[in-house]
Amino acid sequence: MQTDDERRQHQRRTRLTALIVACALFMQTLDGTIVATALPTMARDFGADPVRMNVALTSYLLSLAVFIPASGWMADRFGARDVFRAAIAVFTIGSVLCGRADTLPFLVAARILQGVGGAMMVPVGRLLLLRTADKSEVVGAMAWLSMPALFGPILGPPVGGFIVTYFSWRWVFDINVPIGLLGIVLVTKFAPDFRDDAVPKLDGWGLLWSGLALALLMTGTEVGGRGMVDPWVGRAVIGGGLFFTAVYFLHARRHPAPLLDLTLFRVPTFLVSVLSGTLFRVGVGAIPFLLPLLLQIGFGYTPAESGLVTFTSSAGALIMKPAAMGALRRFGFRDTLLVNAVVASLLLIACAWFTPQTPLFWIYVILLTGGFFRSLQFTAYNSVAYADVPRERMSAATSLYATIQQISLTMGVTVSAAVIDVAMQLWSHPHPGVPEFAAAFAVVGVISLIAAPASLLMPRNAAQDMSGHVQRTRP
């Protein structure tokens, strides 16, 4: 039994670890929201279509998805602290190169390097936190982890808009350098280290098959769905991705220690978190791409004006964090995920009704409230996913969960861009406008709404040791 003093020391250590990991997450989320705000200006410099500039977002997310599967093995083999520190360094170097880009291909290559660092940075950081925290501390630790990281989306739009309007878009990448250096110092000085003594050999074939599957599936969806190549080429690339997906499934069934452990789907809470969370993230992943473009292209806002509106969504998320534990304790994971998904998705669909004539008051209300409920949903997903995963399988769980998480976020950008392209063709519009962005918000919002019934696959009393929820029985 721990004494009260030992318990308080453990809680302080957990919170400190969460804050250190949040430093890296802050850098990543700040980068994503700043880049989205700067896309129209970058498109003018590169002479590219603003909508097609989403390749700067999807190339980074694609790199994340391809390399994340190896993150758990890397942490076990070389030590979570050393891998986490190296990942921050790689991400920072990639940021410097992005700021030096003078062509779109150069930018895409630098973003891919950033993705290699991000692929190790966030899942390994989350692993550090999960191995430090007790189960009863996980929800609170995830809230602590998310609190500083939420400042990225809050600061990203207004800071990015200010930088792009009054300085140069290149600064939106250079801002990562001091944050990255601070993160390296904090990790070196304070982060605990975890590594396994007996680590199986790297599943190299699994890394190859999963990498090919993810790369081809996401590339085929991107280029085929957006009309960038002939339809048969897109279908062929997707077909190749499905083929290598099947190859990986066959490989994983025979391998004693597969890179992505698919047997984790036998854990009900993990399965529901992945299934429901994937659908929900498709909708949410589209927001950083759609909202700045709607405001700047559809409404004619400057980047600075766009940023001042966009940050409201993340501000709502920040307001929610103190309430997360209370909501889960009162209603439990299943009921919270079920009802909250409906509310958050309807608020996302409501963005389809935004026009230049919509009063700013109502835009702020919808974005602020939507951010509140989306943040609660993510806190619940990210906690319950690991509720029943044994500690010795936590590395495998974080790798698999983070891989699927990034795929769903990438699909959000890809699906919304595809809807815009299809709507332009249907309505014979040479350039995207408010109707095209409205269609995209509606489609991704409906996809997000499907996450609600998927939560019913989870028992009502799931993860009670995390939430503290006690189901009342009728007399």
pLDDT, one tens digit per residue, over 146-178 is 665 556 656 666 777 777 777 888 888 888 888
Using CA atoms, how far apart are residues 26 and 83, in angstroms rounded to an integer? 18
pLDDT, one tens digit per residue, over 4-63 is 666 677 667 777 777 778 777 777 777 766 777 777 777 777 776 666 666 777 788 778
Using CA atoms, how far apart are residues 104 and 331, in angstroms rounded to an integer? 48
> Taking phi first (over 0 means left), then psi (-120 to 50 degrees means alpha), and beta for anything else, what does residue 435 get?
alpha
Specify the residue for token string 């919002």.
445
Which three-class secondary structure state does DSSP give residue 139?
helix
Of 268 and 45, more confident: 268
Q: Tell me what pLDDT residue 473 has.
A: 45
Whether the Cβ atoms of residue 354 and residue 294 lie closer than 8 Å to each other? yes
Q: Tell me what pLDDT residue 33 has.
A: 66
For 126-135, 209-218, 262-271, which range has the lowest pLDDT when averaged over its residues?
126-135
Given the candidates 1.20.1250.20, 1.10.10.410, 3.30.930.10, 3.40.50.11820, the CATH classification of the domain at 7-202+259-467 is 1.20.1250.20
Domain boundaries, the chain: 7-202+259-467, 203-258
Question: How far is Cα of residue 247 from the mean position of the Cα atoms in its chain?
Answer: 27
pLDDT, one tens digit per residue, over 175-203 is 888 888 888 888 887 777 776 667 778 88
Whether the Cβ atoms of residue 304 and residue 165 lie closer than 8 Å to each other? yes
Nearest to 23 by CA among 149, 132, 118, 128: 149
Q: Tell me what pLDDT residue 283 has.
A: 85
